[in-house]
Structure 1
Amino acid sequence: MTDGPVFLTMILIFLTITVLLILILGIFYKVYTSLNTSRGLAAVSQRWPAETIPSGKRFSRQSIAVGNLWYKNCANLVVANEGLYISLGFPFSIIGSNSTCILWKYLHYAKKGRAFWMNVYEYEIEMDDPIILTVIKPVATAFPERLKPAE
């Protein structure tokens, strides 16, 4: 057997695997960008973009909901004097920066709820079309006095 057919077969296999990998990565990228640009965090970060991380009480790898979309164990929060800083970690960080700092005057306590077997607290983000932000108890109790949950 000559080297020509073996070499050609290896090239075809390599090209097929490469095309499949590109296709799979493209599908994952499309899914993550559609999740990340859904009405919610994208709209909030467009209104209040954050260039730097403020100083304050930090919460890493938190689960939060913005609108109906939960970001499980990938939100990094900072409760700062000026507002609530939110940035997303992996896998959303590979798509781009969606960091935001919501000023305290635009957050209003709504109600206590339950999600994933724990107490959560819902806050309304004051926008043209209000968006609900859901955080867990340790984060909510670090908020300024007027925003702390009523037990």
Structure 2
Amino acid sequence: MIISRKLLLAVLALAPAPAVLAALEVEDGYVRGLPPGVSNTAAYMTLHNPGAVAVELVGGSAEAAGSVMLHTTIDREGMLHMEHLHSVSIPAGGSVVLESGAMHLMLMQLKRTPKAGERVAITLQFADGSAQQIDLPVRSVLDE
């Protein structure tokens, strides 16, 4: 069976492209270490996007937690509340800071409380279906 070159190129052009690994650079990242028995904690970091296209972070996963979600802290009449964010855009050539009191990653339903000095593997998930594994140290809340 002979397939014409034009037909082959047309089929390849229509095939879905595989997800490209988001190559963000992580700076000053850590997971907040809390007292034993606490069921949730947070991860903080600066995410740099050296690429030419914006990257949209939609959440994550971790073996250490039941779920990893994006949250932001807002002040409503003097009371701080956390709200779920569906995504955070990291602009091409730009950065986004995930920090205490602002946008951050929440590690929910911890399977055990991470201790200072340990490391937690987190998989960042992006809107285009790609993912990126990061490994963050645990820093005691007392050291912040």
Q: TM-score range by the shorter chain?
A: under 0.3
Higher helix share: 1
Higher-Rg structure is: 1
User: What is the TM-score normalised by the length of structure 1?
Assistant: 0.27
Higher relative contact order (CA 8 A, sep 6+): 2
Higher strand share: 2
